[in-house]
Amino acid sequence: MSMPGDIAGMIGQGGFITIQVDADGPVRKLATWGVRIKDLSLAWEYVGYQLLRNFAFNFEAQGGTIGMGGAWKPLAASTVRDRLRKGYLGAAPILVRTSLLYYSLSGRGMPGNIFQIMPTQLTVGTNIFYAIFHQKGTGKSQRSEAYMGWKKVGGVRQQTPKMRIKTSYGMPPRPIVGISPAQSTQVVQILNSYIYQIAANAWGAS
C-alpha cells in the first residue's frame, strides 16, 4: 500500500475518471506473521463504499474535501442565467443539474458508476463523459476571427477585411474525484485491520 500522495492514481481517458488504489506486494506481508493473504476483496468493498461517501460529501460541501484544491469556484453569471432559463436552480448547487454525475459518484450500480474490485486493487469513479472537464477544467482557448475594419485608401476611408485573436475562457477545475491525506490514511488503516484479522484467525485456527 502506498502512503498518502501515491495511494491513488487518477485516470482521465475516454471520459472515465477514477481513483485506483493498489495493495500489491509489501502490504500483504504487513502484520501477517507469515500468513499469505492473496485476496483483499472484502476490504476493498468497504473501502469503495467509503470513497463513494467521500465523493458525495465533496459534492454536498461544494468542493475542498478530497485533497485537491479548495471550494469550487462560483458559476459564471452566464451559466446561472442558462440554468434558470432551462428550469434548473441558479447559482447553487454547483455541478448539479440532473444529478446524474452526483449519483454516479455516490451510489454503487447507479448509471455511470464504476466500482471494480480485484484481489489487490480497487477502482472507483464515473464514466460520465463530461466528468473529466469538471475535474480538470477547460482552460482558455484562442482563435482567429475575421471582421470588417476601416482603412484609408488614397485619402478615402474604405472597409477592408481584418483578423483578430479572440480569447475564450472555459470552466475552472472543480475536482470531483480525489483522496485527501487523511482519507488515504484511513484506507491504509482499513486494510491493515482486515489483514490483522485474517492473520489472527489463521493463527487461532492453527
Residue 36: per-residue pLDDT: 60
- Looking at the fold, whether 58 and 160 belong to one and the same domain comes out as no
- Looking at the fold, whether 111 and 158 belong to one and the same domain comes out as no
Q: Is residue 3 situated within a structural domain? A: no
- Looking at the fold, whether 131 and 163 belong to one and the same domain comes out as no
Total domains present in the chain: 2
Beta strand pairing status for 113-118 and 121-126? Answer: antiparallel
Between the CA of residue 5 and those of 2, 10, 99, 149, what are the distances in Å? Answer: 8, 11, 29, 54
- Looking at the fold, whether 146 and 56 belong to one and the same domain comes out as no
Q: Is 13 a residue whose pLDDT tops 70?
A: no
Q: Is residue 178 situated within a structural domain? A: yes
- Looking at the fold, whether 47 and 96 belong to one and the same domain comes out as yes
Over the stretch 122-169, which tens digit does the pLDDT of each residue have? 999 999 999 999 998 887 766 677 777 777 777 788 777 777 776 666
Using pLDDT thresholds of 50, 70 and 90, give the confidence band for residue 96.
very high
CB 183 within 8 A of CB 54: yes
Lowest mean pLDDT among 53-62, 120-129, 196-205: 196-205
Q: Is residue 2 situated within a structural domain? A: no
5 dihedral zone (left: phi>0; alpha: psi -120 to 50; beta): left
Buried b (16+ CB within 10 A) or exposed e, 55-83: beebbeebbebbbbeeebeebeeeebeeb
Q: Is residue 122 situated within a structural domain? A: yes
What's the chain's average pLDDT? 80
CB 135 within 8 A of CB 12: yes
Rounded to an integer, the average pLDDT of 46-67 is 94
Domain that holds residue 180: 8-137+172-205
Please report the beta strands in the chain, taking only residues with DSSP state E, as ranges in sequence order. 8-11, 17-22, 113-118, 121-126, 140-153, 156-169
Rounded to an integer, the average pLDDT of 43-52 is 93
- Looking at the fold, whether 114 and 97 belong to one and the same domain comes out as yes
- Looking at the fold, whether 180 and 165 belong to one and the same domain comes out as no
- Looking at the fold, whether 77 and 154 belong to one and the same domain comes out as no
Residue 120: per-residue pLDDT: 83
- Looking at the fold, whether 68 and 161 belong to one and the same domain comes out as no
Q: How many residues are given for the chain?
A: 206
Q: Is residue 1 situated within a structural domain? A: no
- Looking at the fold, whether 93 and 161 belong to one and the same domain comes out as no
Q: Is residue 13 situated within a structural domain? A: yes
In angstroms, the CA 112 to CA 104 distance is 5
Crossing angle for the helix pair 181-205 and 41-61, nearest 10 degrees?
A: 160
Residue 6: per-residue pLDDT: 39
- Looking at the fold, whether 71 and 120 belong to one and the same domain comes out as yes
Q: Is 15 a residue whose pLDDT tops 60?
A: no
In angstroms, the CA 139 to CA 171 distance is 6
In angstroms, the CA 191 to CA 188 distance is 5
Q: Is 84 a residue whose pLDDT tops 90?
A: yes
Residue 83: per-residue pLDDT: 93
- Looking at the fold, whether 115 and 164 belong to one and the same domain comes out as no
Q: Is 37 a residue whose pLDDT tops 80?
A: no
pTM for the full model? 0.76
Please report the beta strands in 64-139, taking only residues with DSSP state E, as ranges in sequence order. 113-118, 121-126
Cell of 10: 487518477
Rounded to an integer, the average pLDDT of 82-89 is 92
